[in-house]
Amino acid sequence: MMSCNSNKEEKQKTGPQEVVKVKSDIDKIEPPHWWTGFKNEKLQLLVKHPNIGSATPEISYSGVALEKVHKADSPNYLFLDLSISDEAEAGKFNIKFKLEDGSELFQTYELKERKKPSDEYVGFNSSDAIYLITPDRFANGDLSNDAFDNLNEKTINRSEDYARHGGDIAGITNNLDYIDNMGFTAIWPGPLLINDMATGSYHGYAMTDFYKVDPRFGTLEEYKKLAQEMQNRDMKLIMDQVANHSGLEHWWMKDLPFKDWVNFQEHYENNKTDWNWETVKTSNHKRTVNQDLYASAEDKKNLSDGWFVDSMPDLNQRNPYMANYIIQNSIWWIETLQLGGIRQDTYPYPDKDFMNDWTGAIMEEYPNFNIVGEEWSYNPALVAYWQKGHKNSDGYESNLRSTMDFPMQGLIIEGLKEKDSWDKGLIKIYEGLANDFVYANPQDLMVFPDNHDMSRIFTQLDGNLTNTKMALSYLLVLPRIPQIYYGTEILMDDFEKPGDHGLIRTDFPGGWEGDAVNAFTGEGLTEDQKEMQPFLKKLLNYRKDSKAIHSGKTIHFGPENGVYLLARQNENETVVHIINKNEEPYELNLERFEELGLNGKTVKNIITGKTFTWDENLIFDEAGSTILTTKTDD
């Protein structure tokens, strides 16, 4: 990012980059370090230390200017605006804080060299298949980090659905072979940052420090190792981030920098000593107010400012220091872990304009990156609103490339469960996909059979293996980015208490020493599980190299007599997906599908490997999904 080499050499000669004596007088400085060579030269440091608000800071480092110093409402904070020009070299320097009594404090700050240029950060896209993992429940790779006495939740108990079970980063890293061989190209682990909460800390969505890995998941070094090993395999690591809220035990809740750092802060401060869960102003969860032409100001305020739940303070992103803090935190993690994407929790809940600034700042720095925002709505119009390129009547121009396809998820369940008629069954899935015209970029939507917040697909489909295979195979050929929740490949379920969060996030068998069943090795799996796992593995591995599925055109034919055919096609490859609901033998006349140009061609069944000539008809012995390809050579 150097603009002029000769200038740089001169600076090196005259600059103050001598060896710096490392000092660490200040309690907290964030981001803990930064990098040279960003497009955006601005950096805002949060400094926290007793009475630091009355200090005068100084920085002397070539290429770095201290532009402005801001006091906060609390005397224990300072915010420093730095400008890091493209002439700044990577290195360490000391920030001097002159106190009122004449004494001085020093804090060493480091600017690192970036590992790769911004445009090499390629985000997940429709060529990927994402494996979603709840880290506490996947595999316990390190028994020594299961519990810590100095944390609020001290116990580990695998028989309690809402307790910690001991899964960790090492558990994911140790099993990368399995995930890779299954055919997944990206992993989205649930949040791995510290949740020092008294209960329910296993899920990770109540962060108490946005720069610290939860020690029960491992160390920052282990997180980096996971990232590196995934990169070595050409896999993408997606980080689950939360801009809407923190956990109540977040360190800043004990000394809030500004009077408006969190929403409904007054209420919190007045009740701090006698915290009354019932009187907390929680969000009304009326997410439609973001689009609703008739929404009241009252409803809008309650959605965005109400706390998500009573143990998660709602961050006020209209405070510019908070806004900077969140944006810089995301960039810090992208650089630290060389991320291949971010999943942003509860996208419609934070201040809408801030959310767009956040996405815009990241995409501006990393033009090929990707972020998926969670909008839990079954209405395609609401989902489409958030996607970049969509023309919204209120003028909102979103920077978000990827949104979640809850509408398709819901329709697949309904369409497969219902008995077919003119307006029920497969027609719902067919018409659901026909809604793609509302999306600016359908292939950038993330589609999924279920996730960590909803009943397992096998449970939603009443334990019907055939229907579950239909749902998954259909998802994997759609013009979408598919996401599959860990354990789906072995039909994990929550029949005992459908929808119960603790149960949805059951332990992956084989992830713990001594497990009777081991899904990594196949030991102890049932016949149904042994059928599902290779089914998914074959499809995912085919999908990995299928340009027709990644970016080909899509053609589908309206369902007739319980049969629905969808094709993905480019000039070298056609993939045909057929859902057949007929339990009795059924003969499908292929005449209707002539426009696919397959007549007389050899096609291969991706699951069975059998080849045959596409001719007059196809005979199905039983209900199921059939996935065919014209690529027959391998």
Alpha carbon distances (Å) from 145 to 192, 225, 250, 500: 14, 17, 21, 27
Q: How many helices (H) and strands (E) does the chain have?
A: 16, 25
Nearer Cβ to Ca ion (174/569): 174
Q: How many residues contact Ca ion, by CB under 5 A?
A: 6
- Pick the catalytic residue: 345, 351, 405, 493? 345
Nearer Cβ to Ca ion (66/156): 156
**Segment holding 46, helix H or strand E:** strand 42-48
Burial-class residue 298 by CB neighbours within 10 Å (0-12, 13-18, 19+): exposed
For the CB of residue 601, give the shortest distance to Ca ion in the complex, in Å: 52
Nearer Cβ to Ca ion (110/146): 146
For the CB of residue 215, give the shortest distance to Ca ion in the complex, in Å: 10
CA distance 626 to 605: 7
Nearer Cβ to Ca ion (142/240): 142
- Say whether residue 531 binds Ca ion (CB under 5 A): no
Stretch that binds Ca ion, among 132-140, 341-349, 491-499, 616-624 (CB under 5 A): 132-140
For the CB of residue 166, give the shortest distance to Ca ion in the complex, in Å: 4
Nearer Cβ to Ca ion (168/305): 168
Stretch that binds Ca ion, among 13-21, 134-142, 263-271, 610-618 (CB under 5 A): 134-142
Stretch that binds Ca ion, among 146-154, 226-234, 554-562, 592-600 (CB under 5 A): 146-154
Please name the residue ranges forming H helices in 391-479. 406-417, 426-434, 457-460, 465-477
- Pick the catalytic residue: 136, 374, 444, 450? 374
Residue 130 makes CB contacts below 8 A (sequence gap 6+) with: 124, 184, 185, 186, 187, 188, 238, 446, 481, 482, 483, 484
DSSP 3-state of 222: helix
What's at 35, amino acid-wise?
W
Stretch that binds Ca ion, among 145-153, 283-291, 461-469, 525-533 (CB under 5 A): 145-153
- Say whether residue 135 binds Ca ion (CB under 5 A): no
* 374 noted as active-site residue: yes
Per the CB < 8 A criterion, the answer to whether 137 and 505 are in contact is yes
Residues 16-75 contacting Ca ion, CB under 5 A: none
Measured at the CA of 38, the angle between CA 37 and CA 43, to 5 degrees, comes to 110
CA distance 160 to 200: 11
* 298 noted as active-site residue: no
**β-bridge pairing 342-344 and 371-373:** parallel
- Say whether residue 142 binds Ca ion (CB under 5 A): yes
Residue 357 makes CB contacts below 8 A (sequence gap 6+) with: 323, 327
For the CB of residue 8, give the shortest distance to Ca ion in the complex, in Å: 47
CA distance 498 to 322: 38
For the CB of residue 233, give the shortest distance to Ca ion in the complex, in Å: 23
Nearer Cβ to Ca ion (168/375): 168
Instruction: For CA atoms 58, 63, 68, 70, give the dihedral sign.
Output: negative
Residue labelled with tokens 């090499």: 120
For the CB of residue 201, give the shortest distance to Ca ion in the complex, in Å: 13
Interface with Ca ion (CB under 5 A), residue from 145, 246, 328, 459:
145
For the CB of residue 239, give the shortest distance to Ca ion in the complex, in Å: 20
For the CB of residue 173, give the shortest distance to Ca ion in the complex, in Å: 12
Nearer Cβ to Ca ion (226/383): 226
Residues 160-179 contacting Ca ion, CB under 5 A: 166, 168
Interface with Ca ion (CB under 5 A), residue from 36, 125, 140, 488:
140
CA distance 577 to 564: 8
Nearer Cβ to Ca ion (202/448): 202
> Which residues of this chain interact with Ca ion, rule CB under 5 A?
140, 142, 145-146, 166, 168
Return the active site residues.
Answer: 345, 374
